[in-house]
Amino acid sequence: MSKVFDDLQALQLVLEARRSGSALLPSTNTEQEAPPMGSADNEHPPLDRPGLRDGYTLCVGNATRFIADARVLRDAGRYRSAYLILSLALEELGAALQLYEAGSSGVGDWDAWWRRYRTHPRKLASPALDLPRMEEAGGRFTLVREELVYVEFDKKHERFTGPREDDDSDLHQLFEVEAAYAETLLNALPTHAFERWEFEEIVEHSPEMAPSILYALVEKTVSEEPTVSARDLLTAIARDLGRRPDDFAAGYQRWKNAAPKAQVYLDVLRRVGEKLKKGREPEGTG
């Protein structure tokens, strides 16, 4: 985890121990590294796409919350705390990007992947996404965080110095820059990337299922958004799947012609099912 998060956890443990009167306080040495994930005991195994998708969704959601919390703290004039919360948002965005890349390109060494995930690296890039350079912000956060969190000792002047104050104008400007940067990263991460990849797998293994699924979605989209052109949607889908747009459009028209007949047939089956259900009910019920 991040040094800030580790420090906060250690401080909480110390306070709880003091309240309980415990003679032995927990260690506050945050320099000790946490054990790596993905060790030989297979504690953290390889993940399939659904598992990666769940982690990705949670990381993006957590980063979204941190950014919103930072804005609330900014509005309350708590710039120092707001900036620190942004650093946590950046770490979660880095984790989300790592999960995205794993889903997109696969993972060759899961032990190394888990160790990297555990350290929340910010020096990440994605060949598939046009992202600003995360390592630049990571370097800024690392430098500024020391000035925001700790009471330090100035050897030159032989005195303690406190963290930056909330009314520091440079801190105000820095917060706005970093908040905009974090939101740019958040908006660049695709919302439904994993669902698209999973659908591509369905198409690959069961290509006959793709048209009917997509035609139903096109019909639903057009009915909810009258300004959307069914032809444009079909053309975009066909090109994305490597199909001929004209063939795909013709298939959609055949599907539309058959859909009402299929609905009538489903209604017939429903009525037959209801009659069979009544026939199975014991006398005196219903």
Q: For the segment 178-235, what is each residue's pLDDT rounded down to a tens digit?
A: 898 889 888 888 877 787 777 777 767 777 777 777 788 788 888 888 888 888 888 8
Pick from 79, 87, 82, 84: which is nearest to 171 by CA? Answer: 79
**CB proximity list for 23: less than 8 A, separation 6 or greater:** none
CA distances from 265 to 61, 215, 276 (A): 43, 19, 17
At 58 the pLDDT is 94
At 237 the pLDDT is 79
At 217 the pLDDT is 77
At 37 the pLDDT is 37
Domain ranges of the chain: 33-190, 206-280
Distance CA 211, CA 230 (A): 14
Q: For the segment 64-87, what is each residue's pLDDT rounded down to a tens digit?
A: 999 999 999 999 999 888 988 988
> Which residues are paired to 153 by β-bridges?
160
pLDDT of the chain along its 286 residues, tens only? 455 555 555 555 544 554 554 443 333 343 343 343 333 345 678 998 889 999 999 999 999 999 999 999 999 999 888 988 988 898 899 899 999 989 888 899 999 999 888 887 665 566 667 666 655 555 566 556 667 777 888 888 888 887 778 888 888 888 888 898 889 888 888 877 787 777 777 767 777 777 777 788 788 888 888 888 888 888 887 887 777 888 888 888 888 888 788 878 888 888 888 888 777 766 655 5
At 1 the pLDDT is 46
- Which string of b and e fits 148-187 if b means at least 16 CB within 10 Å? bbeeeeeeeeeeeeebbebebeebeebbeebbebbbebbe
**CB proximity list for 134: less than 8 A, separation 6 or greater:** 90, 93, 94, 97, 122, 123, 124, 125, 185
